[in-house]
Structure 1
Amino acid sequence: MSTELPESALSPPTGSSESSSAPTRRTFIATSTAVGGVVLAGGVIGGTSLVGPAEATAAERPPSSRVSLTVNGTRRTVTVDNRTSLLDLLREHFGLTGSKKGCNAGACGACTVLVDGHRQNSCLTLAVRLEGAEVVTVEGLADGDELHPLQQAFIDQDAFQCGYCTPGQIVSGVGCIQEGHSDSPEEIREWMSGNICRCGCYVKIVRAVEQAAGRK
């Protein structure tokens, strides 16, 4: 047996105190929902009521900072995104592509540079933290047309194959010599262990470092 009420049961009885022009409960709810949706959409989508243009622009712009540092003897000042690594600053902003992006996680050493005389993985170093620092890349080792002794030693010892790791190996080798860690092949291997050569030229790399250090 159906329990559905007739339509007349949903309407106010004749002679009721409600005016025939007054909105029903169903009409009121539907109208309120529609108006509320339009207001909300206008505020969120249009961005005029809830968020002003200035605030929206500021939210879209990543935080940046101005940094001045010396790279290969030249003073440089640049404004960069605070998340920019030294490696990306060198390659993308300064056009110094000698430092290679290998693992980009500090595990291969292909991006090694000297920061204030010390070896550093540039992919793990934030550029904005190097205010006033002195950075040397593989491009800054040679003196004009005269190669750095370790660069020449890599040629003499044939210490590379594909060459991708070579810039990092050479810079790391220079740091290794300057730090005084080149007294024996074993010591060189230990202090150069952060630089990976997928071609397996380790024996010749050690010989090149020994040559540049004056031991061969």
Structure 2
Amino acid sequence: MLRPMTYQEIDEAFRRFRAAEPEPKGELHHLNAFTLLVAVALSAQATDKGVNRATAALFPIADTPEKMLALGEEGLIEHIRTIGLYRNKAKNVIRLSRILIDEFGGEVPSSREALQSLPGVGRKTANVVLNMWWGLPAQAVDTHIFRLGNRSGLAPGKDVVAVERAVEDRVPAEYQRHAHHWMILHGRYICTARRPRCADCLISDLCQFEEKTI
């Protein structure tokens, strides 16, 4: 059974991540809190690059809930039909735009509970918005973070909620703000699913993965 990293190993791992990239950024393009919320909602089962291509022409004309409603569901579909599940996503974006206007004064709320009350917004989407826009130490666990957390021993857990809790419980407070981005970028580009790039890994000597590709 894989040994979880020790506190000292985790601290050293994130010290290296921070030294390499002090201010990591998410890769979804957005203009404000609303477009970030929409972009993250659209990114479910889609790539960030694919979402960015679709929203490049959308966000300049629909960067508020009011403008999104004016565009309408069919108008939105014309912009996002290259994204998987686009019809259902369009329906959710229009519905959440209406709710933001009716219940939140047109503003994106800053609590997880309020965000998760919106159509198409789950815990992961809420955590991304809380982290990226509001600067809160919320940990959004996707497939990359789940894989990295378990494979390396940084934050092992049987499901995404367990890994989220492990990151919150095990990563030192000074790294919590950016932990999500350091882990997702490392999982996306270095600790890849099929053939991890262990030779290029900043933390290969700390990682507990036994089948390193070095």
> TM (normalized to structure 1)?
0.24
> TM (normalized to structure 2)?
0.24
Quick check: which one's strand share is greater? 1
Query: Higher relative contact order at CA 8 Å, sep ≥6: structure 1 or structure 2?
Result: 2
